[in-house]
Structure 1
């Protein structure tokens, strides 16, 4: 019940949010699931360039304020 009310509230307050969430859930890659049976994380090779971030974020993102 609480989840249904939250989703209904989101849909009213932010039209299109639910569609975006459910579309995103359909586009998940195996590497994003952190499941070792679906993706070979151990065999992943790290390039020398990946140690240095391309661009450092200027400020931390507040992911909880949607």
Structure 2
């Protein structure tokens, strides 16, 4: 039985996120899906931008 390995990357830093994803892609990982969330106001109604990204990858078969 072959085991599949998954990795999830979460970040609120866009540049760090891109660097981490590129690292995995260069090392034979395959992009399965991604999600990003942006909010422009906090619960008090003040302007605030929150940015969260997630990527799920699976390692390519050897």
With normalisation by structure 2, the TM-score equals 0.27
* Structure with the bigger percentage of strand: 2
Higher RCO (CA-CA < 8 Å; seq separation 6+):
2
